[in-house]
Structure 1
C-alpha cells in the first residue's frame, strides 16, 4: 500500500484510483466461510474486529481484534479512510481466510460509488459487500412486509443496492455490492445470515467483539 492519505485531496485521489478497480461479478453463491467486520469507538480510540463464520452452521471459525486510533479525520464520503488500516490489520491476524467480507456499511451505495465494502474488497482482492442499517444515498419504492421482499435502491438513475426485508414486519436493511460480487448474490447471502435477527450474524458477531474490546479502554 502507498502511504496513507493525510488530506482530503489525497484521499479523494486515492478513492478515484481504487474505484476504477472495482469488479462486479456473480461472486461465490455458497462460500464456505464469511467474515463480518465492524469498528467501535471510544473517543479518539477504536477497536476493529473481524469474525469469520462457517456459513453452513454460522459457528465462529476465527476472530481478530485490533485496538488503534482513527487513521483519518471525519470527512463525509471518506469515512472508510478512518477504519480501513485497522480492519486490514485485523484481517492479517486471522488464521482462517474468509471467502467473503460483509461490512457494516455500504459498497456502491455511496456518493462516489466507493464505500467501505468496495474499499476493502479492492485492497484485499476478496468478494465484499455491505449491509447497512441506514440509507446513505438513493431512493426506493416501498418494500413488502415479508422476509425476502426487496426494492431497488436507486441513485441518479443507477441501481446501487437493494432495500431488503430480513424479518417479517421489521425495518429493512440496505444491501450493496462492493467488489467481486453482484447484488442478487449479496442479498441471498444476507438472507442466509439472518435466520433469527434483522442484522446478519456476521455483523452481530463483529459488533460484539469490537464492543468488548472497547471496554478494555475503560479498564
Structure 2
C-alpha cells in the first residue's frame, strides 16, 4: 500500500499554496530510478461537469499491460490557477493511489515536474508526498526549446529562465515531442529512457494513454 506523507496542510489561498511549493521544492531529489523498473503508474485527471475524475493505471513495463488501476471522483477544492494545479488535482490522485494493491516503481504524471516557475510541478509534489520516484511528461512546453531532430529518441534541452528544467523528447519519428522533466528521485537521463520504453508506438507513453482512457470512461 502507498503511504501518503503528511508534509503540509492543504491550503485555501494562493499565497499559502505558493509558500508550500517554496518550502518543499528544496526537498526534491535528483538521484536515479531503481535499477529494475518493473511497474510504472500513469496518472491523469479528467473533468466531468463540476467533478474531477482522477485515474491511475499501473503497467507492467515489459508487456505494457495494465496490472492494477483505480478511479476517484471528487469536487475540486482549489481554484484553477496556473502553477498551482497540484493543489487542485493532487488530492483525488492521492486518493486513487492509496486504493492500489500494487505499489508502482515510478509515477508518470500527465504534467510537469521541475519544468515549473517554482521548480515544483505536479510530479514533484506527488513524488514527495508518496516518496516514490516520479517524472512529468507534458504535452506542452513550460519553457523554451529548439525542435529536436526528427528521429525517435532525439531531444533538446528545455529551459526556463536560465535553468535546464527538462527535455523536448521525440518519442516517434516526425511527431511532435513530449516534454519530460524530473519529479523526484530520478535523473533526467533515466526519465527519458523510461518514457521511450513506455511509448513504443505513439507520441504519449502508454501510462498516460491508459489512465486517460480510464478517466474518460469513468467520467461518461
**What interval of TM-score do these two structures reach, taking the shorter chain for normalisation?**
over 0.9
Structure 1's consecutive aligned runs of 4 or more residues displaced over 4 angstroms after TM superposition are none
The answer to whether 1:97 aligns with 2:106 is no
Partner of 2:18: 12
Whole-Å Cα distance in 1 between the matches of residues 102 and 148 of structure 2? 37
Match of 1:139 in 2: 144
Q: What secondary structure is seen at the aligned counterpart in 2 of 1:109?
A: coil
Q: Which residue of 1 aligns with 2:136?
A: 130
Contact 1:103 1:131 survives alignment (8 Å): yes
Q: Distance in 2 between matches of 1:39 and 1:149?
A: 28
In structure 1, the residue matched to 2:210 is: 205
What is the TM-score with the length of structure 1 in the denominator? 0.95
SS of equivalent residue, structure 1 residue 181 = coil
Q: Give the aligned CA root-mean-square deviation in angstroms.
A: 1.0
Aligned runs of 1:179-190 on 2, under 5 Å? 179-190=184-195
Matched-pair contact (CA < 8 Å) for 1:130–1:176: yes
1:154 Cα deviation after fit: 1.2
* Partner in structure 2 of residue 87 of structure 1: 93
Among 37, 44, 48, which residue is 2:43 paired with?
37
Choose the corresponding residue for 1:148, options 146, 150, 153: 153
Specify every segment of 5 or more residues in structure 1 that has no aligned partner in the other structure, as ranges.
none
TM-score, normalization: structure 2? 0.95
Deviation at 1:43, TM superposition (A): 2.6
How far did 1:13 drift? 1.4
Count of aligned pairs between the two proteins: 214
Secondary structure of 2:16's aligned partner: helix
Query: Contact 1:165 / 1:172 at 8 angstroms: preserved in 2?
Result: yes
For 2:214 and 2:140, locate their aligned partners in 1 and report how far apart those are by CA, in whole Å: 21
Match of 2:196 in 1: 191
Q: Return the alpha-carbon distance in structure 1 between the equivalents of residues 187 and 100 of structure 2.
A: 25
In structure 2, the gaps of 5 or more residues are 1-5
